[in-house]
Amino acid sequence: MSYVKQLACITCGQTFPADTPLFTCPSCGIEDGVLDVQYDYDAVARVMPPHEARASGLRSMWRYLPLLPIEQPALLPPLSVGWTPLYNSASLAGALGVKSLYIKDEGRNPTASFKDRASAVGVVKAKEAGATRIACASTGNAASSLAGFAAAAALPATIFVPERAPEAKVAQLLVYGAQVFSVEGSYDEAWELCQKASAAFGWYNRNCAVNPYLIEGKKTVSLELVEQIIEQYDGRFPDWIAVSVGDGCTIAGVWKGLVEMHILGFLPKLPKLLGVQADGCQPFCRAFATDGKLTPASADTLADSIAVGYPRNFQKALRAVRQSGGAFIAVTDQAILDALCYTARTAAVFSEPAGAACIAGVRAAVASGIIGQDAIAAVLSTGNGLKDTKSAILAAGEPTRIPPRLSAVSHREGAKTDV
Amino acid sequence: MSYVKQLACITCGQTFPADTPLFTCPSCGIEDGVLDVQYDYDAVARVMPPHEARASGLRSMWRYLPLLPIEQPALLPPLSVGWTPLYNSASLAGALGVKSLYIKDEGRNPTASFKDRASAVGVVKAKEAGATRIACASTGNAASSLAGFAAAAALPATIFVPERAPEAKVAQLLVYGAQVFSVEGSYDEAWELCQKASAAFGWYNRNCAVNPYLIEGKKTVSLELVEQIIEQYDGRFPDWIAVSVGDGCTIAGVWKGLVEMHILGFLPKLPKLLGVQADGCQPFCRAFATDGKLTPASADTLADSIAVGYPRNFQKALRAVRQSGGAFIAVTDQAILDALCYTARTAAVFSEPAGAACIAGVRAAVASGIIGQDAIAAVLSTGNGLKDTKSAILAAGEPTRIPPRLSAVSHREGAKTDV
């Protein structure tokens, strides 16, 4: 039994029972009618009292079972997901110009990205619904994460990728045993085909844009962050949390987790959210600075995981940043590559470009006066740098070529500064 | 203060005080005179009693501080290393033909490989020795791991790579901020140059072949394995532990950890070790089957992390396998690629080829009657598959190409078996 009270449409507020088979509100449609899972927080508070927050019990995202929409815990996949390390790095704080800096290394999840939190919930909900196959359309971390968790749950998976999908990412899907369709067409065509095929064959659709349960997995990163700061850092909570933004589901999930920890008494004051986008793809920044309306944008950035010109969780994300009193900011690809390097060299966390973008965003926000120099900030490194070694090569430069003689080393020794 | 009693030469037995600056025995030389760190196990037993093994305390390799040669715990790097997940996978056991199968996912370490356990100790010992720079020669996981931990410890690092080192691995080193010399010559020339430069400039040499402390980090994988089996699996210990073998230091470390847990009363009976090599590079298999003498071999396998024709820890590794009553076995590259796939599809652990080799070894050992079908086996997946996506592509095959039409999906749906 879960503590889910009901689901509610984020636009019209209409509620649906906890066991509704619906994903979206029939009145508001697939674009605006995303449903939000709501809990009986009084009951949750009785089993999760804040004074017992001492990181006892399970060290995975499943320690937050009372705040998850799981009806049958026996179906949880065996992979160890969540409870990723949270570091406080004085040298990274120095590089960014803030007083103190937390970095949560989500690349330490089973398939090396934050998306594992969503996929872990997705495969359980699919099995609870009696599905015999789970599907998604993606070429990125959502797909590889789904493939990994489907393997762990012994649930067949079908993944639709556009024909231009990078070979290495497709290989990861195939290694985990997913059925992979390379669709002769664009990403949008692959996405539409996945929707149609899921409907036609009764497959479970793992897609954060339409599925209300996946964000519940994503929010666990905030639940952990709050508990880890209580346990490891004497409750010195951040003033700002920076999150890279693509379709908007991640930052909306981060916000939901923070709000819940506030309701439950773990977190005394809500931080502000900094939504970070790439210069070449910034529909949120544009909307935030103007009328709050979505104008689909081009998607020209090497941070592929946030190259989303038409964000599917636009309203939820924009609302989260506004409620927090935060801001959106855009950074150049070069600033992202720089952040990838100085984060590895100071905090020893190797991020993929989309994970480094939010770090570059903090530096930019300090420079422009949005974040004060006396602020405590937190960033989420959402994916492991090994996911995109091409960008790492772009960022890191070349080795020094020498003949195999000691004189060649001594000639250079001491001339190099390492960070 | 540590519990180190002394260091002893593994060949002549001569002992040296705990604070000796020596790495190898002056009488036996660099090849045979590797030193072994010895502890006061009675004193360790008083602070690490087996009946308190309930995985309380730190969940990292530092929980075993009484069994590590660390004099100044204040110098421990902040990265969260060790306490990697241990899974029991019935479906992988089925694929291998054994009764029960444990897999420890070492790819979940900070730089995505088992070598982090050694590097973590290496940077502490370097700082304790007052070194201002740490060095190694390698193109593989030892190098990227050292680069990551040197960054975490704010200790400058110099790494010598042969000119043919793969671009992606060199990029990882540079991202972490190491000084990287690309040596115009072979790996052996890079190795010799590193030795000379370390001696000439007083750099600390992180090299398992000559440095007695790194194996102490490696052994922690066994300490964890034993405690995790007590905690998670009711003490159902394995009959066999399979380890992929390159220079021999890893399997020697695994054995040392097991022996220590036996001495301390955690592990009632020592398992047998299965040393696994690639068909194209099997000096240990040859020596084990014949006179026990090392004949340098060629190194022709795609499992680059164990492609070591001249193993630097030959005696220690051979002795460990013999003492355990175990065996060596060789597997083909195709068997390694097969293991990479079926491990990802059953246990949802994505390994690099060298990590999958030991898994292929268990299957081969069952087929040849070395391991019985009623045996409990354990394997170490020593590195994340993202370290070598080229091999993953070789292993995983191609996606199914279709036009963006539902009829193209329905035509194929159901025809595919996923595992």
Q: How far apart are CA B134 and CA A76, in angstroms?
A: 44
Tell me the nearest-neighbour CA distance from A362 into chain B, angstroms: 20
Question: A171 and B350 in contact by Cβ < 8 A?
Answer: no
| Nearest by CB: A180 against B149, B400, B413 | B400
Distance of CA A152 to the CA centre of its chain: 21
Q: How far apart are CA B203 and CA A390, in angstroms?
A: 31
Q: How far apart are CA A123 and CA A133, in angstroms?
A: 9
* Beta pairing class for B134-137 and B400-402: unpaired
Backbone angles phi, psi at B339, to 5 degrees: -65, -40
Best residue in B76, B386, B416, B417 to probe A by mutation, most A CBs within 10 Å? B386
Kindly list the distances between the CA atom of residue A202 and the CA atoms of A125, A184, A197, B273, in Å, as whole numbers in the listed order. 14, 23, 8, 48
Question: B344 and A177 in contact by Cβ < 8 A?
Answer: yes
Mean pLDDT is lowest, of A27-31, A39-43, A363-367, B33-37, for A27-31
By three-state DSSP, how is residue A329 classified?
strand
B94 shares contact with chain A (CB less than 8 Å) = no
Best residue in A76, A175, A182, A346 to probe B by mutation, most B CBs within 10 Å? A175
A166 shares contact with chain B (CB less than 8 Å) = no
Best residue in B176, B188, B228, B390 to probe A by mutation, most A CBs within 10 Å? B176
Residue B419 is predicted with a pLDDT of 34
| Nearest by CB: A175 against B184, B396, B410 | B396
Question: A399 and B149 in contact by Cβ < 8 A?
Answer: no
pLDDT bucket at A36, cuts 50 / 70 / 90:
very high
Mean per-residue pLDDT for A277-305?
93
Residue B119's nearest CA partner among B299, B312, B249 is B249
By three-state DSSP, how is residue A102 classified?
strand
Residue B377 is predicted with a pLDDT of 98
C-beta neighbour count of B305 within 10 angstroms:
27
Q: Does pLDDT of A418 surpass 50?
A: no
Question: Complex ipTM, two decimals?
Answer: 0.94
Query: What are the residues whose beta carbons fall under 8 Å from the beta carbon of A278, sequence distance 6 or more?
Result: A301, A303, A306, A307, A330, A331, A332, A333, A336, A357
pLDDT digits (tens, 9 = 90+) for A307-333: 888 888 899 999 999 999 999 999 999
Q: Are B111 and A392 contacting, i.e. CB atoms less than 8 angstroms apart?
A: no
Task: Please name the residues between 182 and 221 in chain A that touch chain B, using a CB distance below 8 Å.
Answer: 182-185, 189-190, 192-193, 196-197, 200-201
Residue B146 is predicted with a pLDDT of 96
Task: Please name the residues between 345 and 404 in chain A that touch chain B, using a CB distance below 8 Å.
Answer: 345-348, 350, 384-387, 389, 392-393, 395-404
Residue B167 is predicted with a pLDDT of 76
Q: Tokens 């630097």 identify what position?
A: B312
pLDDT bucket at A208, cuts 50 / 70 / 90:
low
Question: B80 and A77 in contact by Cβ < 8 A?
Answer: no
| Nearest by CB: B184 against A192, A397, A402 | A402
Question: B110 and A348 in contact by Cβ < 8 A?
Answer: yes
Q: How far apart are CA A315 and CA A313, in angstroms?
A: 6
Question: B402 and A59 in contact by Cβ < 8 A?
Answer: no
Q: Which residue has the higher pLDDT, A39 or B305?
A: A39
Task: Provide, as residue numbers in chain B, all residues whose Cβ is less than 8 Å from the Cβ of A419.
Answer: 151, 154, 177
Q: Does pLDDT of A408 surpass 70?
A: yes
Query: What are the residues whose beta carbons fall under 8 Å from the beta carbon of A276, sequence distance 6 or more?
Result: A242, A243, A244, A245, A328, A329, A330, A331, A357, A358, A360, A361
pLDDT digits (tens, 9 = 90+) for B252-292: 999 999 999 999 999 999 999 999 999 999 999 999 999 99
Query: What's domain A86-113+216-396's architecture?
Result: 3-Layer(aba) Sandwich (3.40)
Q: Which residues of B215-238 are buried (b: 16+ CB within 10 A; e: fewer)?
A: bbbbbbbbbbbbbbbbeebeeebb
Query: Could you give the percent of chain A with pLDDT greater than 70?
Result: 97
A243's enclosing H/E stretch is strand A240-244
Tell me the nearest-neighbour CA distance from B356 into chain A, angstroms: 13
Tell me the nearest-neighbour CA distance from A31 into chain B, angstroms: 22
Task: Provide, as residue numbers in chain A, all residues whose Cβ is less than 8 Å from the Cβ of B196.
Answer: 406
pLDDT bucket at A406, cuts 50 / 70 / 90:
very high
B161 shares contact with chain A (CB less than 8 Å) = yes
| Residue in chain A nearest B154 by alpha carbon | A346
Mean per-residue pLDDT for A256-268?
97
What's the one-letter identity of residue B140?
Answer: G
Q: Which residue has the higher pLDDT, B169 or A16?
A: A16
| Nearest by CB: B396 against A171, A189, A400 | A171
Q: How far apart are CA B219 and CA B144, in angstroms?
A: 20
Fold designation for B86-112+215-396: Rossmann fold (3.40.50)
CA atoms within 13 A on the CB side of B342: 18
Residue A318's nearest CA partner among A371, A251, A242 is A251
Point out the residues of chain B with pLDDT beneath 50: 415-419
Question: B181 and A400 in contact by Cβ < 8 A?
Answer: yes
3-state secondary structure chain B: CCCEEEEEECCCCCEEECCCCCCECCCCHHHHCEEEEEECHHHHHHHCCHHHCCCCCCCCHHHHHHHCCCCCHHHCCCCCCCCCCEEECHHHHHHHCCCEEEEEEHHHCCCCECCHHHHHHHHHHHHHCCCCCEEEECCCHHHHHHHHHHHHCCCCEEEEEECCCCHHHHHHHHHCCCEEEEECCCHHHHHHHHHHHHHHHCCEECCCCCCCCHHHHHCHHHHHHHHHHHHHCCCCCCCEEEEECCCCHHHHHHHHHHHHHHHCCCCCCCCEEEEEEECCECHHHHHHHCCCCCCCCCCCCCCHHHCCCCCCCHHHHHHHHHHHCCEEEEECHHHHHHHHHHHHHHCCCCECHHHHHHHHHHHHHHHCCCCCCCCEEEEEECEEHHHHHHHHHHHHCCCEEECCCHHHHHHHCCCCCCC
Residue A4 is predicted with a pLDDT of 96
Q: Is-above-0.90 flag for pTM?
A: yes
Tell me the nearest-neighbour CA distance from B337 into chain A, angstroms: 10
Backbone angles phi, psi at A170, to 5 degrees: -65, -40
Tell me the nearest-neighbour CA distance from A301 into chain B, angstroms: 20
Q: Does pLDDT of A414 surpass 80?
A: no
| Residue in chain A nearest B394 by alpha carbon | A171
A137's enclosing H/E stretch is strand A134-137
A6's enclosing H/E stretch is strand A4-9
- Check residue A271 and report its DSSP letter: P
- Check residue A338 and report its DSSP letter: H
Kindly list the distances between the CA atom of residue B200 and the CA atoms of B157, B292, B368, in Å, as whole numbers in the listed order. 15, 36, 51
Task: Provide, as residue numbers in chain B, all residues whose Cβ is less than 8 Å from the Cβ of A131.
Answer: none
Q: How far apart are CA B282 and CA B310, in angstroms?
A: 10
Domain boundaries of chain B, sorted by first residue: 86-112+215-396
B97 shares contact with chain A (CB less than 8 Å) = no
pLDDT bucket at A207, cuts 50 / 70 / 90:
confident
